[in-house]
Structure 1
Amino acid sequence: MEEEETELRNPFPSPPSHHTKYTTRNLQLLELLRDRAGGADISTVNQYELLSDQTDVPEWPMVQLEKPRVDWILEEGQYTVFGDTWFIKEQIPSLKELGGHQLYPEDPSEDRRPALRKILHSLLVTYSHLVDSLLAPPPIASTTVQPEWQRQLEWITVLAQNIMAAANDLRPVQARVNLELMMKRQLELRREETRAIHEKCDSLEAKLAEMSSAVRTLSNDTRTNKSDRNGPAHEVRSPLQL
């Protein structure tokens, strides 16, 4: 009981029971079996005869230790892990493959908008008929004919399944378009940020140039004022000239 509760509390599935067979000794025996088989399929040879001189030869077929055949996986397009089947290439099954009544084209390259408009129009008309059938008097109890409202409801279910399946088929396209829009928006934001940085740099350069010009003008004015205060320079004569 405790083991069952532990298994239920574990969010991940337990590994298969044969994982304990992958010991170092068993892998060595598998390699020896391959060498002695001489290139033959080890599933067709008698492992006990080829490994008669070895000890601890397992009772189960050692071919179970072989790695999965990748070529088989590629050929089948799927593989199984812990009892779950996974496809190599993820694809959304169509409504027809799921056993439903598909009303739109199977080819994704074909324009589905006309078919979807017809489905939507049929859905609205069927809903109107459903309301009318609900307002009709109840049928006789002994009749075996299917009620009108039930037929309309079944057809609405088929139409709704087609709309949902068509929307699911467009999810990869929607994801690609959303990614393109997001990347374009990021590019626009970076361009705007770069433009703002350039404008700020230009503004700073203009201010620096203005400040530099003001400093030069102030320096020239200071020199001029000093020259005016000192007056004109007088010529000094030597005593010999006197």
Structure 2
Amino acid sequence: MDDEETELRNPFPSPPSHYQRYTTHNLKLLDLLRQRVGEDADLSTVNQYEVLSDQTDVPEWPLAQLEKPRVDWILEEGHYTVFGDTWFVKEKIPSLEELGGHQLYPQDPSVDRRPALRSILRSMLVTYSKLLDAILAPPPTNSSQIEAEWKQHLEWINILAQNIMAAANDLRPVQARGNLELMMRRQLELRREETKAIHTKCDALEAQLAELRISAQTLVSPTPAGTTSKRAAGHMSSKPPDVSGMSTDAVLRWAEEVT
């Protein structure tokens, strides 16, 4: 009881108890058993006590449990079993026929299923109408006849509904692929729009920089030797005053006169 409570309190589950069987001695016994009976022999059918009679500490449980799983067998069968659950090597949706149902549409996904599905839908509508007629009809003298009729219609509707649901489940990978394609196209469109907006902003900034260059070139345009422009002379003659004792308004007025 204490061990069980400790196991429940442990946030990380302990490894399976059979890991303790993988000792050096047991692995050597397994190699020796494999050498004596052959590499291709099935150890589950071999009496390990007779083959390893000259060895000590031969375990009571079969040494075949220590063998590694045969990957080639798993790939050949297409599935493997872990703790009683069967897992497929390649995930796939089992068809209605593989699940034991009555499949009415073609199994090959490359074949167009639309004609078969339309026939199934029409058959379902007709059968539903017949079911309503059988239920709403006046009660016959033989009650077993009307009961058998509506049961047949109900069973056939069940089979048709199973086919429609199975066909819809088969299209889930196609739907996922289509949704992924639409999402990637939308992301591509958004990136193109963002890139276009960035290029537009860069063109506007380049135009503003070009205007500023032209303005700067006109301000510092060259004049004949020995002469200065009127604006330059004004800048040269107006030395910056001592602004330590001037107010803000006075400094602004001086800046306007200079410019």
Q: Which category of TM-score, normalised to the shorter sequence, fits these structures?
A: 0.7 to 0.9
Instruction: Determine the C-alpha separation between the residues in 2 that align with 1:192 and 1:41.
Output: 67
Residues 17 and 132 of structure 1, relative CA distance in 2, 3 Å threshold: farther
> RMSD between aligned alpha carbons?
3.7
Aligned equivalent of 1:237: none
The answer (yes or no) to whether the contact 1:13–1:82 under 8 Å persists in 2 is no
> Counterpart amino acid of 1:76?
E
Pair 1:26 & 2:26 matched? yes
Instruction: Determine the C-alpha separation between the residues in 1 that align with 2:119 and 2:213.
Output: 74
The answer (yes or no) to whether the contact 2:102–2:159 under 8 Å persists in 1 is yes
The answer (yes or no) to whether the contact 1:16–1:82 under 8 Å persists in 2 is no
Unaligned runs of 5+ in 2: 235-259
Instruction: Determine the C-alpha separation between the residues in 2 that align with 1:36 and 1:120.
Output: 65
Fraction of identical pairs, as percent: 71
Can you list the C-alpha shifts for 1:134-168, whole angstroms capped at 9, x where unaligned? 3222344x633252333222222111111111111
Secondary structure at 2:184 match in 1: helix
Can you list the C-alpha shifts for 1:51-83, whole angstroms capped at 9, x where unaligned? 556543212221221101111111211111111
More contact order relative to length (CA 8 Å, sep ≥ 6): 1
Aligned equivalent of 1:117: 118
Aligned equivalent of 1:131: 132
Pair 1:143 & 2:143 matched? yes
Post-superposition offset of 1:182: 1.8
Post-superposition offset of 1:108: 1.1
Residues 40 and 91 of structure 1, relative CA distance in 2, 3 Å threshold: closer
Secondary structure at 2:80 match in 1: strand
> Which piece of structure 1 moves more, 43-52 or 171-180?
43-52
TM-score (normalizing by structure 2): 0.71
Residues 35 and 154 of structure 1, relative CA distance in 2, 3 Å threshold: closer
Aligned equivalent of 2:200: 199
The answer (yes or no) to whether the contact 2:134–2:146 under 8 Å persists in 1 is no
Pair 1:224 & 2:225 matched? no
Instruction: Determine the C-alpha separation between the residues in 1 that align with 2:19 and 2:140.
Output: 64
Can you list the C-alpha shifts for 1:18-64, whole angstroms capped at 9, x where unaligned? 44422344234334544666757482766446655654321222122
Post-superposition offset of 1:207: 1.4
Unaligned runs of 5+ in 1: 230-242
Residues 9 and 177 of structure 1, relative CA distance in 2, 3 Å threshold: farther
Post-superposition offset of 1:111: 0.8
Residues 8 and 130 of structure 1, relative CA distance in 2, 3 Å threshold: farther
Residues 28 and 130 of structure 1, relative CA distance in 2, 3 Å threshold: same
Instruction: Determine the C-alpha separation between the residues in 2 that align with 1:8 and 1:125.
Output: 58
Instruction: Determine the C-alpha separation between the residues in 2 that align with 1:18 and 1:199.
Output: 69
The answer (yes or no) to whether the contact 2:30–2:63 under 8 Å persists in 1 is yes
Instruction: Determine the C-alpha separation between the residues in 1 that align with 2:73 and 2:220.
Output: 88
Aligned equivalent of 1:239: none
Can you list the C-alpha shifts for 1:80-139, whole angstroms capped at 9, x where unaligned? 111111111222222122222222122211111111112112222222222333322234
The answer (yes or no) to whether the contact 1:130–1:152 under 8 Å persists in 2 is yes
> Counterpart amino acid of 2:156?
W
Instruction: Determine the C-alpha separation between the residues in 1 that align with 2:158 and 2:169.
Output: 16
The answer (yes or no) to whether the contact 1:34–1:42 under 8 Å persists in 2 is no
* Residues matched between the structures, number: 227
Secondary structure at 1:80 match in 2: strand
